[in-house]
Structure 1
Amino acid sequence: MFIRAIEAVERFGIPRKLIVGFLTIAIFMTDDGFELTFLTKYMVDQGFSASQGSLLITVYGLFAALAGWTAGMLAEMFGARRIMLVGAGWWIGIHLIFLGVALPSGIYPLILAVYALRGFGYPLFIYSFVVLLSQTVRPDRLSSAMGLFWTCFSMGLGVFGAYIPSFLIPIVGEYRTFWFAIPFSVAGLIMCFALVPRTRSAQSANLTHMQRLERVASGATIIFRNRDIAVCSAIRIINSLLLYGFPVIMPLYLCGRQYGGENWFRIEDWMRIWGCVFIVMLGFNVFWGWFLDHFGWVWPMRWFGCALLGMCSLSFYYIPRWFGANAALMVVAAILIGVGTSAFASIPSIMNALAPNERGAALSVYNLSAGLATFVGPGIATILLTMLGIDGICWAYAILYATGILLTYTLHPKQPGIVERRRKTVVGAEAAAASATETVEAVRASSDLE
C-alpha cells in the first residue's frame, strides 16, 4: 500500500526524493499547532488578561510573517535544506527556553519576547521547502505539489496539532502538554537532515557570500518593482480573510446575543462547524493543485476562490437569520469555505512564471502575504466591529473578494503544459483542415478528369 501511495504521488509529477519531505512538513507542523487551541486559556489561568494572551499569538504571527518573507530568499541563496535545518534548530532551542525559563518565570515581557522569537523558526522550515519544490518540480506540476504541501501543513497544524493535545491535557495537564511538542519537532529535524535532498539554485551556485546577501537585500524590493507580484500578494492576503477573520467574530454572533446574535449555537457546536473547513481542505488542497495544473491557473481561482468565498462571507451571516439554528446549512457553508480557500494553490506557480529570475524573492513575498493574512482578517473585524457590526464586516469581506475577482483579470502568466496543449490543439486543427482541403481538391480533380 505504501508503494502504491508513492506511485500515486509521483503521478502528480512530484519526484520520489521529495515525497518524504511532505511527511516531514506534517510532522514538524504538529509541534507548532500544539498550543494554538489553548495557549490563551492557559495564560488567563496563570493570572494574565485575555488581551495579554491574544497579544502573545498576534506578535508570534508578526514574527512568523517576517521570517516567511526572508525564508524564500535565504533558501534560494544558501540552499533550502540548510535553511530548513536552521529553522528547526531555532524552533527547538527557543521552545526549550520558553518552557524551561520564560513560562515558569511568570514575567510577561520575557514570555512575550521569547515566544515571539520562536515565531522565526517554523516559517524558515516550511517555506524553504516551498523553494525546494519550485527548484525541483516541473513548472506545469508545481500547483499540484503546492496543493499537497498545504494538505500536509493543514494535517499537522490543524488536525494532529489540535486533536493530540485534546487527549493529552486531561491526562498530564496543559503545561506538560507543551513539552510533547518537542518529539515532533526533533523528528522533523532528523527526517529533514537524513532524507530531504540538498539543492542549490543554479543562479546562486557561483556567488560569493557578499553577493548572496546583496541578492537577498535586492529581492526584498520585488513587490515594489513588479506590479504582477504585488497583485499576487494582494490576492493571497484576500484568500484567507475568512479563515482568520471568522474565528474572531462568529463566536460572538452565533453563540451569544451581542452584535445581533440570537445565541443560535453552543460554542462547541461552532467549533465543530468551523472544523469542517479544515477537514475539507485536506482533500481539496490536492484536488485544486491537480485541477489548476491541467485546466488553468487563474480562472478557477477567480470563480471557485474569490466569488465562492464572497458568497460564503454573506451566507454565514444570513443563514442563521433566515433559517435559525440550522447546523446542516452552516456545515454546508463551512464546507464551501474549505473548497474556496483551497482554490488559490496556483499563486506560487503564477509568481514563478511572472518572475522567473527572482523565484526566491517572489516566493518570499508569497510567504509574507500568507503571514499578513493572519493580521488583515482579524484587523478588519476589530476595526469595523463597533462601527458596522457583524453584517458590515461580512459585507466588507465580500467586497474585498469582489476586488480579488477584478485583480485576477490583470494576471496573464504563460502556463507550461496549457500552452503546449493549446499549441498541439491548434496544430492538430490546422493539420485536419489542411487534410480536409487536400481531400476536397482531390475530389474536384477527379471530377474534372471524368
Structure 2
Amino acid sequence: MNTNNALSSPREKQLLGMPIVLIWGYIAIAIFMTGDGIEQAFLSKYVVDLGFSASQASMLFTVYGLVVAVASWLSGVLAELLGPKRVMVAGFSLWIIFHICFLVFGLSKGNYGMMLTMYGIRGLGYPMFIYAFVVWIAYIAPKQRLASAMGWFWCMYSIGVGFFGTYIPSFTIPYIGFMGTLWMSIGWVLLGGFISLFLIRDDFSRYKKELNTGKEKFQELLKGVTLFFENRQIAKAVVVRVINQLSLFGLVVILPLVFTKEVGFSMSEWLRIWGAVYISTIFGNVIWGIIADRIGWIKQVKWFGCVGCAVTTVMFYYVPMAVGPNFWVALFIAVLFGITMSAFVPMSAVFPTLEPNHKGAAVSMHNLSAGLSNFIGPGIATLVLPYFGAVGVIWTYTVLYLFGAVVAHFLKVTEVNKKEENMTSARQEIFYK
C-alpha cells in the first residue's frame, strides 16, 4: 500500500473535518477528560483549606505538570510503536490506580509527601490517553483538513475538562463534598477508557510501516528527542506551543483564591466562571480550526492566539478586581479568554506537517510542549507568587505571550495551497470520501 497516497487522499468519511472512523475516540476523550478535569478548578483551594499554603498547593500542580510533560513526550512515539489503543488503555489504567492512591494515602490522611507522589504519578495517565489519540488523528486526517480534525479533538477535550469537568462539581460539592466529588471522577475515566478499548474499530497498522527490529524502534523513539535539534522550525513551534497554555494552567492555581478571597465570588460562582472559559473553547476549537485552514495557521496563532491571550490574560485579573463580584462581567471576560486560547488550535496540525515522515515523533514534540506548558504554567505561579503576588504572575504570562507572537512570526509552515484547498472544498460538503 502507498502510505503517502493513503494519507493525502481524503478517502475516509468526514464530518466537518472530523474522521468518522474515530468518532468513538472523540467521545471517549470528552468523557475521560470530564473525570480528569473534575478537580481542576477547586483542588488548589481544597488543599489550602486542609491547612497547606498556597505555594504548597501550587507545587502540587507543578510536580504534576512535570510528570505530564514527560508522559506527553512519550505518548506520541509509544503510540506509533505500540499502537494508540494500547497506549490509551495503559493511560486510563494508570490514572485510576494512582488517583485512588492519591485520595486514600494523600488527601484523606493530609500527608503532603504522598499527595505529591501519587498526584504526580497520576500525571502519567491523561497524556498517554489523549495524546496517543492525537497520533491516530495525525495519520488519518487529510492534510487540508488536519487543523479541523485537531479542532474537533480540542473541542471534545474542552467539553470534558471544561464544561462537564467544571460544572459538575459546582453542583456536587454542596451535596457530597470535595472528597465525594473526587471519588466520583473515577466513573467518568473508567467509562471513557472502556469506550476507547471496545468501540474504536479502526486498524492503526494500515496507516504506517512496521518497525520490525529493535534498532528501528529505538531510532524512532530517539527521533522524539532529536527533532528539536534537527529541525529549527520544530524548535520554534515548541516554544510557541509551550507558551500556548501557560495562563490556562497557571490561572487555575491563583484565580480560585483571588476570585473567592479578594474579589468576593463564591466557589460555585467561580467554578461557573471558569467553566465558561472551556464552553467558549468548545465552539472556538471547531470554528478556529476551520478558519485556520482558510486564513493560514500561523497568522491565526500569532495575532488571535499570542496577542489575543496577552490582552485577555490581563483583563481576566484587572477587570474583576476593578468592578468587584459582578458575575456577568467576569463571565464575559472568561469567554473572551477562552476564544483567544482556542485560536492556538492549528499548532496540533503544525507539528506533523513540519515532519511528515515522522508524524509520531513530531506529535511527541507537540505533546511534550503541551506537557511543559502544564508544568511551566503552575511553576511560574510557584516562583513568582511569593515575591510579586498574583499581579506579577499575570504580567509574566502576558510578556511571554507577546514573545510567542515574535517567535510565531518566524515560524514557516508549508500549508496546503489555496487552489488545492478550494478544489477539495468544491468536492466536499458536510460528508465526503
Shared fold by TM > 0.5?
Answer: yes
Deviation digits for residues 147-201 of structure 1 (CA, Å, limit 9, x no counterpart) = 1111111111122222323333343343333332222222122211112223037
- Give the CA deviation at 1:60: 1.8
Specify whether residues 90 and 17 from structure 1 end up closer, same or farther in structure 2 by C-alpha distance, changes over 3 A only: same
Give the TM-score, by structure 1 length: 0.81
CA contact (8 A) 2:45 2:257 kept: no
Aligned-partner Cα distance in 1 for 2:324–2:39: 33
2:181 to 177, 183, 193: 177
CA contact (8 A) 1:132 1:199 kept: yes
CA contact (8 A) 1:28 1:188 kept: yes
Specify whether residues 264 and 87 from structure 1 end up closer, same or farther in structure 2 by C-alpha distance, changes over 3 A only: closer
Deviation digits for residues 216-270 of structure 1 (CA, Å, limit 9, x no counterpart) = 12322211221111111111122223323334455666666xxxxxx55435555
- Give the CA deviation at 1:316: 4.0
Aligned-partner Cα distance in 2 for 1:98–1:381: 23
Aligned-partner Cα distance in 2 for 1:364–1:120: 14
- Give the CA deviation at 1:203: 4.8
The residue correspondences of 1:394-409 to structure 2 (distance < 5 A) are: 394-409=394-409
Q: Is 1:218 paired with 2:223?
A: yes
Specify whether residues 46 and 248 from structure 1 end up closer, same or farther in structure 2 by C-alpha distance, changes over 3 A only: closer
Identity of aligned residues (%): 41
Structure-1 residue corresponding to 2:33: 29
Aligned-partner Cα distance in 1 for 2:89–2:308: 38
Which structure has the higher relative contact order (CA within 8 Å, separation 6+)?
A: 2
For 1:11, the aligned partner's letter is L
Q: Secondary structure at the match of 1:36?
A: coil
For 1:15, the aligned partner's letter is P
CA contact (8 A) 2:73 2:224 kept: no
For 2:217, the aligned partner's letter is R
Q: Secondary structure at the match of 1:415?
A: coil
Structure-2 residue corresponding to 1:285: 285
Specify whether residues 301 and 323 from structure 1 end up closer, same or farther in structure 2 by C-alpha distance, changes over 3 A only: same
The residue correspondences of 1:43-442 to structure 2 (distance < 5 A) are: 43=47, 51-100=55-104, 103=107, 107-196=111-200, 197-200=202-205, 203-250=208-255, 263-268=262-267, 271-316=271-316, 318-319=318-319, 328-385=328-385, 393-416=393-416, 418=418, 420-421=420-421
Aligned-partner Cα distance in 2 for 1:101–1:255: 28
Q: Is 1:14 paired with 2:18?
A: yes
CA contact (8 A) 1:294 1:417 kept: no
CA contact (8 A) 2:302 2:405 kept: yes
Q: Secondary structure at the match of 1:207?
A: coil
Q: Secondary structure at the match of 1:341?
A: helix
For 2:377, the aligned partner's letter is G
Aligned-partner Cα distance in 2 for 1:349–1:235: 13
Q: Secondary structure at the match of 1:180?
A: helix
- Give the CA deviation at 1:59: 1.6
Structure-2 residue corresponding to 1:440: none
CA contact (8 A) 2:243 2:373 kept: yes
Aligned-partner Cα distance in 2 for 1:414–1:146: 17
Give the TM-score, by structure 2 length: 0.84
Deviation digits for residues 294-327 of structure 1 (CA, Å, limit 9, x no counterpart) = 3321111111111222222343455467767766
Give the aligned length.
410
Specify whether residues 62 and 393 from structure 1 end up closer, same or farther in structure 2 by C-alpha distance, changes over 3 A only: closer
Aligned-partner Cα distance in 2 for 1:393–1:47: 23
Specify whether residues 79 and 325 from structure 1 end up closer, same or farther in structure 2 by C-alpha distance, changes over 3 A only: closer
Aligned-partner Cα distance in 1 for 2:180–2:328: 37
- Give the CA deviation at 1:382: 4.4
CA contact (8 A) 1:81 1:198 kept: no
Q: Secondary structure at the match of 2:205?
A: coil
CA RMSD in angstroms comes to 3.0
Specify whether residues 143 and 388 from structure 1 end up closer, same or farther in structure 2 by C-alpha distance, changes over 3 A only: same
Structure-1 residue corresponding to 2:5: none
For 1:406, the aligned partner's letter is V
Ranges in structure 2 where 5+ consecutive residues have no aligned partner: 1-12, 425-433
- Give the CA deviation at 1:126: 0.5
Specify whether residues 167 and 310 from structure 1 end up closer, same or farther in structure 2 by C-alpha distance, changes over 3 A only: closer
Q: Secondary structure at the match of 1:414?
A: coil
Specify whether residues 32 and 267 from structure 1 end up closer, same or farther in structure 2 by C-alpha distance, changes over 3 A only: same
Ranges in structure 1 where 5+ consecutive residues have no aligned partner: 1-8, 257-262, 425-450
Aligned-partner Cα distance in 2 for 1:326–1:171: 26
Greater shift in the superposed pair: 228-237 or 56-65: 56-65
Aligned-partner Cα distance in 2 for 1:300–1:172: 43
Aligned-partner Cα distance in 1 for 2:300–2:419: 17
